[in-house]
Amino acid sequence: MNEEFYVSIVGEVFDGYSEILINKSPAFVKHVSIQDQRYLHKYYEKYKNTAIKRGVDSEEDVLKRLKEDDMWSGSDESKIHALKQEIKNLHQTRKKIFIPSQRKSFEKDIEEREKELLDLEQKRKELVGKTAEDYATSRASQEMSRYFIFSDPELTQHFYSKSEFDELDDLEILLLNAEQNNITTRLSEENLQLAILKPFFSMYISQCEDVYGFYGKPITKLSVHQLKVAVFGRMFFNIFQHTEDIPDDIKEDPDKLLAFSEAQRNKDNSKFIKDDSDASMVFGANKEDMNVIAPDTKKGGVSLSQALQNKGGKLTMDDMIKLTHGG
């Protein structure tokens, strides 16, 4: 993505809305806030209770019946929760790994766990079928779709009245959902972090310390995206303030920057490296990894052997990180 894209998404976050076209007319999609999430929950509960009153089983009742019939078990349910937590932990750990082969190993583990989780969730879904929760999610989502779309950038006039929205056909609803999904994807945490680390945002990043001063309104009035920009901005500003010798080529890479900061905090911890250990053995790097970590001098890099010689035969965690990034 070019810098213009990141400037654009930061502008959207500052505005608190994203502009789209509906039948060639401009429309403005409000970004969700904590208060909006409360309304979403209210609508969800409303439609869930409606479905149950109409005789649609809740997920809890269906699962209870499936367990009684030995078609689903508590251990199956526990396995789903355990896999979700394991995948989350693997993703967090992978971000701190620099060695290519080790990153690939974690990626393979993540892929295997995600496939196992998907298979279990699909089996569960097939057994459970449609529930009151499914109905509530669908209806609440439609209700909030209308709620978030406005005809003016001040977000004072809804684009559709309730009767107009109820008359939309399935295709029109799908198109609206697609637009809102596109906004969610464009304003992902990954993209927001990348935007914050772009040079154009450098004039703003220190101001993220004062959230009210930054936006001119209390936190309760901020969108979730605005809060994320403030949180990420404070986090990266703190790293730049308290982490020394950050290689230039990782200053715009969120994952590498966070991993470098973490490594700097732990570089004196014996669990990472021992003085009498060979660097390649400590880090578990293979020959291909070393080509990345310490490229041959003929390719413009510094060889591992040369780096060892320069450092008296020993490399610290900090030295290895700098080799990884050409420092």
DSSP 8-state class, residue 152: S
- What confidence tier does 305 reach under pLDDT thresholds 50, 70, 90? low
Q: How far apart are CA 303 and CA 323, in angstroms?
A: 9
- What confidence tier does 317 reach under pLDDT thresholds 50, 70, 90? low
Residue 303: inside a domain: yes
DSSP 8-state class, residue 20: E
Residue 288: inside a domain: yes
Tell me what the pLDDT averaged over the chain comes to: 83
Is the model's pLDDT at 290 over the cut of 70?
no
Tokens standing for residue 186: 């464009």
- What confidence tier does 231 reach under pLDDT thresholds 50, 70, 90? very high
**Total count of domains within the chain:** 1
Who has greater pLDDT, 272 or 176? 176
Which pLDDT does position 284 carry in this prediction? 56
Residue 285: inside a domain: yes
Which pLDDT does position 149 carry in this prediction? 94
Who has greater pLDDT, 282 or 75? 75
Which pLDDT does position 26 carry in this prediction? 96
Residue 313: inside a domain: yes
Which pLDDT does position 151 carry in this prediction? 95
- What confidence tier does 272 reach under pLDDT thresholds 50, 70, 90? very low
pLDDT one-digit tens code per residue, 98-135: 666 777 888 899 999 999 999 999 999 999 999 999 99
- What confidence tier does 266 reach under pLDDT thresholds 50, 70, 90? low
Is the model's pLDDT at 303 over the cut of 70?
no
Which pLDDT does position 280 carry in this prediction? 44
Who has greater pLDDT, 76 or 262? 76
Which pLDDT does position 17 carry in this prediction? 96
For the ranges 42-51, 171-180, 274-283, 295-304, which has the lowest average pLDDT?
Answer: 274-283
For the ranges 101-105, 141-145, 256-260, 315-319, which has the lowest average pLDDT?
Answer: 315-319
Give alpha helix (H) positions in 95-169. 100-128, 132-148, 162-166
Residue 295: inside a domain: yes
- What confidence tier does 289 reach under pLDDT thresholds 50, 70, 90? low
Count the Cβ atoms, other than its own, within 10 Å of residue 291. 15
Range 149-157 average pLDDT: 95
Residue 195: inside a domain: no
61, 225 Cβ separation under 8 angstroms? no
Is the model's pLDDT at 309 over the cut of 90?
no
Measuring CA to CA, which residue among 78, 72, 52, 54 is closest to residue 128? Answer: 72
At residue 150, φ and ψ (nearest 5 deg) are -120, 160
Q: How far is CA 101 from CA 42, 97, 316, 326, in A?
A: 48, 10, 20, 18
At residue 30, φ and ψ (nearest 5 deg) are -70, 140
Percent of the chain with pLDDT over 70: 80
The range of the structural domain enclosing residue 278 comes to 267-324
For the ranges 20-24, 180-184, 241-245, 294-298, which has the lowest average pLDDT?
Answer: 294-298
pLDDT one-digit tens code per residue, 57-107: 999 999 999 999 999 998 999 999 999 999 999 988 877 776 667 778 888
Residue 318: inside a domain: yes
Residue 68: inside a domain: no
Residue type, position 116, single letter: E
Is the model's pLDDT at 301 over the cut of 70?
no
Answer yes or no: pTM beyond 0.85: no
Residue type, position 163, single letter: S
Count the Cβ atoms, other than its own, within 10 Å of residue 247. 16
Residues 315, 319, 325, 327: is their CA dihedral positive or negative? Answer: negative
Residue with tokens 């310490």: 294
Residues in CB range of 254: below 8 A, 6 or more apart: 190, 193, 194, 197, 236
27, 20 Cβ separation under 8 angstroms? yes
